[in-house]
Structure 1
């Protein structure tokens, strides 16, 4: 129980008000969260957001158009890449060095969190901002095993579209 629920219960009791379940409405942020979770479940596999889940292994096939890129699940690919970079101090340090060398803002890649829908938006937002550094990291010789998480232009376009879709919910 939240303190609001307790206080509301006391208020109803003191004022002898009748609670009518049919008049109940969810708080707006909760509704926005449910809507965003529904959108996210349609565009990415949410199972991979969980801390205990295994990394997403993107299939390598020829991507010819936007729909192919969407089916390839670029959000899950990005999430697994970020998890791999963040899991290793050496990888984090190398990524930071790339940012310094490229004279970019020193930002850590953000990983989304299962309970916060806006974290997926922020993860994509920063990845788009740091795309050049991400690509340089992936195509360098130091961590070639992570190249499986590289994305082509269509997948980056899909991320940009998902970014725009999720951005709408930030207005509320």
Structure 2
């Protein structure tokens, strides 16, 4: 039962660092990698986007669109009409179909809700940008985010996707076994380390989470219960 709790602690520290715009901007600036997914990104623009805290901007945009039933209905009308008339395009100028679903809000005590919020927000970006640019929504047009701010959100989603997949793996078991906790936790840390190597700009935030993860891993390593559980699970599996 402590597995999701420990995961939550590690990820919350990453999210706190990522949204601490001043600290994050300074450390990302030092670990900067100019090429982002094959696209050359301007360093000053990206750092400025971090400073603006895109997570908070995303929450504000969601709140503005969901503020009333009438506005939510208008937004969904734009989504459906836009899909039918092929209005929406990706940042690479490719036609896309936006999922006809509601925007999600996150809960501060659940890191995975922030992951789902960002995931849904990015999936619906073409419709959001279109909706906030329409003349009838001028009063909330200031909530439209820049390409760099969307990129920062995508980067945080990359980080959160790792613990999400590991937690899903644990949750997929009808009766989670203690013996699988350590291998899953090792997978979690290894995946984060690989992500930090692949995207150096993400390392400052990932390292914060890894520091906490490693401290808990040491505690597990010193607990005989996990070793016994893994050996027992292996023996039963062989049978």
Once the 2 structures are TM-superposed, how far is the Cα of residue 105 of structure 1 from its aligned partner?
A: 2.6
Contact persistence 2:99–2:123 (CA under 8 A): no
TM-score (normalised: structure 1): 0.71
**Of the candidates 141, 156, 166, which is equivalent to residue 160 of structure 2?**
166
> What secondary structure is seen at the aligned counterpart in 1 of 2:103?
coil
Counterpart CA distance in 2 for 1:147 and 1:83 is 13
Structure 2 unaligned regions, length at least 5: 21-42, 84-97, 168-239
Alignment RMSD: 1.6
* Over 4 Å off, 4+ runs: none
Structure with the higher fraction of residues in helix conformation: 2
Equivalent residue, structure 1, for 2:68: 88
**Of the candidates 4, 8, 12, which is equivalent to residue 37 of structure 1?**
12
Equivalent residue, structure 1, for 2:122: 128
TM-score (normalised: structure 2): 0.52
> What secondary structure is seen at the aligned counterpart in 1 of 2:106?
coil
Once the 2 structures are TM-superposed, how far is the Cα of residue 159 of structure 1 from its aligned partner?
A: 0.6
Counterpart CA distance in 1 for 2:19 and 2:44 is 19
**Of the candidates 45, 54, 58, which is equivalent to residue 74 of structure 1?**
54
Matches of residues 77-156 of structure 1 in structure 2 within 5 Å? 77-103=57-83, 104-156=98-150
Counterpart CA distance in 1 for 2:10 and 2:139 is 36
Structure 1 unaligned regions, length at least 5: 1-25, 46-62
Counterpart CA distance in 2 for 1:105 and 1:88 is 20
Once the 2 structures are TM-superposed, how far is the Cα of residue 44 of structure 1 from its aligned partner?
A: 2.2
Report how many aligned residue pairs link the two structures.
130
Contact persistence 2:78–2:131 (CA under 8 A): yes
Once the 2 structures are TM-superposed, how far is the Cα of residue 164 of structure 1 from its aligned partner?
A: 0.2
> What secondary structure is seen at the aligned counterpart in 1 of 2:136?
coil
